[in-house]
Amino acid sequence: MNVELRCYGAVRTALGAQSLERSLPEGATVATVLDRLGEANPDFARLARDEDGVVVMRDRTHLDRDAPLADGDVVSLSTSPVRD
């Protein structure tokens, strides 16, 4: 399945892109995306290490790490506005 990732703020800076397309296995979750992005990019891995460090949304709804993704999803990634 394919998903589009729209990147904002520090996520955009870390990944060096405004948007990315990723091919994922069926049954992939938000955690799958975050883990794969982190494996490929140490700057993003640092942001995503904190469970609240990256905010993930689909259709203006916050997604937990275990939320399943579907083919054609457009997912927004940004940093949390409330950081310690």
pLDDT tens digits for range 33-84: 999 999 999 999 999 887 678 999 999 999 999 999 999 999 999 997 654 4
> Is 84 within the bounds of a domain?
no
How much is the pLDDT for 82? Answer: 52
Domain that holds residue 47: 2-79
Going from the C-alpha of 76 to that of each of 73, 82, the distances in angstroms are 10, 17
Q: What is the pLDDT of residue 83?
A: 46
pTM for the model stands at 0.89
Which CATH number characterizes residue 45's domain?
A: 3.10.20.30
In a domain, 60, yes or no: yes
Query: Does any domain span residue 29?
Result: yes
Number of domains in the chain: 1
Residue 21 backbone phi and psi in degrees, to 5: -115, 140
